[in-house]
Structure 1
Amino acid sequence: MAATEHGFVVIGAQSVGFSITNLRTLKELERGKYPVAIGEDIFAAHQILPETVDAIVAAFTAIQQLFADYGVKAITVSGSHSFFEAQNAQFVWDQLLSRTGWAVQPQTLAQESFYRTQAVFARFPHFSEITKTGTVLIDISSGSVELTAFTDGEFGFSRNLSLGPLRVYEVMSDLQRTVNNYVEVMQDYIDSRLLDFMRLLPHAEQYPNMILMGSALSLFETLIPTGERMVETDRDGFDLIYREVTHSSDQYLSEEYDLPINQVEQVLPTVLLLYRLVKTLNSQRIFISNLKLLDGLEADAAWGAGFRPVTLDPTKEIIQSAQNLADRYQVDVAHRDATVTFVLQLFDRLKKLHGLGKRERLLLQIAATINDIGSYVDTHKHYEHSDYIIRASELMGLTRTEQEMVATIARYHSSDLPQLNLGDLPEMGAARRLIIAKLSALLRVADSLDASRQQKITALRVSLRPDAVVLTATASDDIALERWTLQQKGKFFTAVFGLPIELKGRTSR
């Protein structure tokens, strides 16, 4: 088996899916799933039951045999965000590791959104053409809804809401036997949860196109022709589906749409949720896709392996997500952009000194973009507010650990300092603590270079000498404040890298 073949496994709310994929071509040699009712455990009992763990182990064992038959060595095993919502998720993770040898990688909601976006970039027909006008991607899993918007062909923003159809059904199942107007009550419940969510969305943009995808769309996937990725309908066609579902029995839906009877219970909340989103966003063209999280993992792995099945660099989405967060908290754009420019120049010119790579550069860029968001709460100790806001936010494409690293770097960009032995970062391993220290030191220097918030420095030369790092600035005005600030904040740089750093400059007028 060629080294380009990669095995993927995803634990979702309703099944364990898998594929064997050629990363060079994104062609799948095998793909399938094992039905496992994990979500029913999580949303009803808030934990994964022993018999469900047994079912996951059985699925893993069968998939392992298939991978072995194909000779697949490179394997990625992921668990959806809903899987890790279970109260006993860590215990189950350890049981799966001990019984199968597979360590399940957790996915945050922001990561899942990132991978699904990669899926549509890589596999959705005519995606670049469709997104020339406002397009919203709605991904519905059993436990949540992810809304990702595109304008003029570019990623705009992403929001998540914990309102998946299985979650709605489990919350409201008792009502079905006690009220006559169950559909109306469920609609009211969905509307109440959507109200604040929709209020936070940008209102200036129009989204005439809607792409629907996700593990909860079993009903709609029966409409997609075999071998195709999607089917298109319009508002009238979607209204017909809505009226049929809200006036039909479970038995009829099961037979008409070829659904297992245990999935029919999710059809009503799925359709009610989508109907409200279509109405609110006033979308006219509706594309129903069978793309899954699995497709996004394949595309991202191909990009990471050096292949280019996706034309858009995925880091653009991550950076845009950070800029959206900065805009939401009204960060000073001019200072933000100046800081980002300086810090990336420092990183690139001092590679021999810090020895870090592309991923660390991206984390530094994100930290420089959002380090001041805490000022929205209070300028006093704003770095502390930045820390907890970043930890509580959704940053597309970052792992939970990476997001915590960014939050910590942002905390130490200002007057606060980590202990020199980094003992106040016990939650991070030694290697990550050192990365945080290096990136924080670089960010402190970059922030100093615009201490006046007037963008006086118009050009910067970075020189790494045996005995010092010298910054030579061309400025539009006196930079005495920047020089004094660097003397104070640059002490941590010297402690981390063992070299003093100084700022020289001249005015350009």
Structure 2
Amino acid sequence: MAVRIFAAIDVGSFELELGIYEISYKTGIRCVDHIRHVIALGKDTYSLGKISFGLVEEMCRVLGEFVQIMKAYRVKDYRAYATSAIREAQNKQIILEQIRVRTGIKVRIISNSEQRFISYKAIAAKAAEFNKIIQKGTAIIDVGFGSAQLSLFDKDALVSTQNLPLGTLRIRGLLSKIPATVRDRREQIEEIVDKELFTFRKMYLKEREISHLIGIGENILYMTRRMDMAALGDKIDAATMGRFYDRLCQMTTDQIEERFGVNSEYGSLLLPGAVVYKRILELTGAEMFWIPGIRLCDGIAAEYGNDNKLVKFSHNFENDILAASRNMAKRYKCHTSHTQVLEQYALNMFDSMRKYHGLGSRERLMLQIAVLLHACGKFISIKNSNECSYNIIMSTEIIGLSHLEREVIANVVRYNIRDFDYDKVQLETQIHLYHDSGLSRSSITILIAKLTAILRLANSMDRSHRGKLADSRMAVRDKELIITTGYQGDMALEAASFEQKADFFEEIFGVRPVLRQKRKV
């Protein structure tokens, strides 16, 4: 297979980055060039709420230069992603339009969960090392300029991931107007970090053993590049990290600039980053710190290669999304046995109805997550469980899902026990995200209706929560979805509930569901 030249563009909080990659099924992914330009977009966003005209001008100029570099390399395809600095800017839509008009580049704003999942794919591209390390308790810590993401693995499964407001640019902004010595500054940063980690430790690290820490992000690359620990390779023990931290904490900003070869803007960000990594290392008690040396651009290239079947990962990322959802359901005390039965019914129904719903594997995954989380709101209120479930899902990042996908799932769960109103489906997602997905608002409403109809009917089949129809078989014949069970006991509750949900199902798909109970002769 021919080698494909691909460009990845990261419009980050502190830098614009361009990565040029050669990707092929035979040789995998190889970075052939990497260009970066420091521009503190996040400084404006986090302090003013929007990005100034001057920075937009500079950004468009640099992205225009990136276009020329891409042409020189004869790039066949590209992806350009923007993260928190633009995502949180009030004027983001006009910025995206300015970039498109002036450079021709279409930039997509990605959610935090998508951003971290993409970086995680870049780590997984180092398959042998990654699969070996995550066999033991492992935490991935990605300290960015706007926030930090802490993800926990246990025996090859992602069990939890949380976003913390511990980006280096944010921390520096909080302390910028407070005069302090080097020692005082370190203690102030530690207090900020410890405050944010306190709740995380109580909720997610209780009785969990973490042996390995994986550090990613631009900050950790700069920290290890210019000091003695760089000679140790990409794996560092806790004691070595401690010595490095102690030396860094004794340096002034001028000394950091000289030692690391960075400007003052970047030099002032290294100490906050070091504090976050060190405190998490102490908090988890990890013995080894792996620094695989990846950036977001590497993740974008890995995602593109995987999507276009140019590279194949041994790790199953869909399982990670499901594992995170299952752990979320466990946290909110969802009825596990009922959920397992409901999952079987809903997925069998989805597969049997493929010809009539026209949905794909991604929509199947969203249905599965909706099943897992459909009753999480009962943890707060049994009476208003669907509204509480909606709010929980909308307030919780699920790694690997876009904001729009999470919104679809939240609405499916909400309308599971509420009359469906096509004109009042609550969609908070901004219009530019609809365009990015290739969907209109009306098509998203229809998708929600389809998944809701399946969830409702599947839920009716386990009305008693006793799994009576676990042996059921499904097939579509003559505009009817025939569901047959050999259960011989009383299933009056299920039959009555099924009939109630059948009308909406038929309205959506034009197929009438019919429940049949086989009788022994």
TM range (shorter): over 0.9
Between 104-113 and 92-101, report the one with greater CA deviation. 92-101
Q: What does residue 446 of structure 1 align with? A: 458
| Cα 1:417–1:118 shift into 2, 3 Å | same
Q: Matched residues in 2 for 1:385 and 1:35: separation?
A: 43
Q: 2:504 aligns with which of 488, 492, 506?
A: 492
Q: 1:75 aligns with which of 72, 75, 78?
A: 78
What is the CA-CA distance between 1:273 and the residue it aligns to? 1.7
Q: Matched residues in 1 for 2:488 and 2:227: separation?
A: 61
5+ long unaligned stretches in structure 2: 428-439
Q: How many residues align?
A: 506
Paired residues of 2:5 and 2:73 also in contact (CA < 8 A)? no
1:317 aligns with 2:320: yes
Q: Matched residues in 2 for 1:105 and 1:381: separation?
A: 36
Q: Deviations over 1:33-58 (max 9, x none)?
A: 22222122223333211111112111
Q: What does residue 374 of structure 1 align with? A: 377
Paired residues of 2:96 and 2:106 also in contact (CA < 8 A)? yes
Between 488-497 and 22-31, report the one with greater CA deviation. 22-31
| Cα 1:224–1:326 shift into 2, 3 Å | farther
Matches within 5 A, 1:22-61: 22-24=22-24, 25-61=28-64
Q: What does residue 156 of structure 1 align with? A: 159
What is the CA-CA distance between 1:498 and the residue it aligns to? 1.8
Structure 2 counterpart SS, 1:413: helix
Q: Deviations over 1:318-370 (max 9, x none)?
A: 11121121111111111111111111101111111111111111111111111
What is the CA-CA distance between 1:495 and the residue it aligns to? 0.9
1:423 aligns with 2:423: yes
Q: What does residue 99 of structure 1 align with? A: 102
Structure 2 counterpart SS, 1:146: strand
Q: What does residue 8 of structure 1 align with? A: 8
| Cα 1:225–1:249 shift into 2, 3 Å | closer
What is the CA-CA distance between 1:403 and the residue it aligns to? 1.0
Between 487-496 and 170-179, report the one with greater CA deviation. 170-179
1:502 aligns with 2:504: no
Matches within 5 A, 1:292-371: 292-371=295-374
Paired residues of 1:139 and 1:213 also in contact (CA < 8 A)? yes
| Cα 1:72–1:181 shift into 2, 3 Å | closer
| Cα 1:3–1:256 shift into 2, 3 Å | closer
Q: What does residue 239 of structure 2 align with? A: 236
5+ long unaligned stretches in structure 1: none
AA at the equivalent of 2:499: Q
What is the CA-CA distance between 1:6 and the residue it aligns to? 2.4
| Cα 1:124–1:497 shift into 2, 3 Å | closer
Q: Matched residues in 2 for 1:379 and 1:476: separation?
A: 31
Structure 1 counterpart SS, 2:36: strand
Q: What does residue 20 of structure 1 align with? A: 20
What is the CA-CA distance between 1:154 and the residue it aligns to? 2.6
What is the CA-CA distance between 1:178 and the residue it aligns to? 8.7
Q: Matched residues in 1 for 2:232 and 2:367: separation?
A: 37
Paired residues of 1:10 and 1:79 also in contact (CA < 8 A)? yes
Structure 2 counterpart SS, 1:217: helix
Q: Matched residues in 2 for 1:391 and 1:229: separation?
A: 43
Q: What does residue 432 of structure 2 align with? A: none
Q: Matched residues in 1 for 2:369 and 2:178: separation?
A: 46
Q: 2:478 aligns with which of 436, 461, 466?
A: 466
AA at the equivalent of 1:274: Y
Structure 2 counterpart SS, 1:289: coil
Q: 1:483 aligns with which of 495, 508, 515?
A: 495
Matches within 5 A, 1:58-457: 58-123=61-126, 126-177=129-180, 181-223=184-226, 231-414=234-417, 416-419=418-421, 422-425=422-425, 427=427, 429-457=441-469
Q: Matched residues in 2 for 1:371 and 1:443: separation?
A: 9
Structure 2 counterpart SS, 1:159: strand
Between 54-63 and 214-223, report the one with greater CA deviation. 214-223
Between 122-131 and 227-236, report the one with greater CA deviation. 227-236
Q: Matched residues in 1 for 2:99 and 2:4: separation?
A: 27
AA at the equivalent of 2:307: G
Paired residues of 1:233 and 1:287 also in contact (CA < 8 A)? yes
Q: Matched residues in 1 for 2:470 and 2:510: separation?
A: 28
Between 106-115 and 137-146, report the one with greater CA deviation. 106-115
AA at the equivalent of 1:457: L
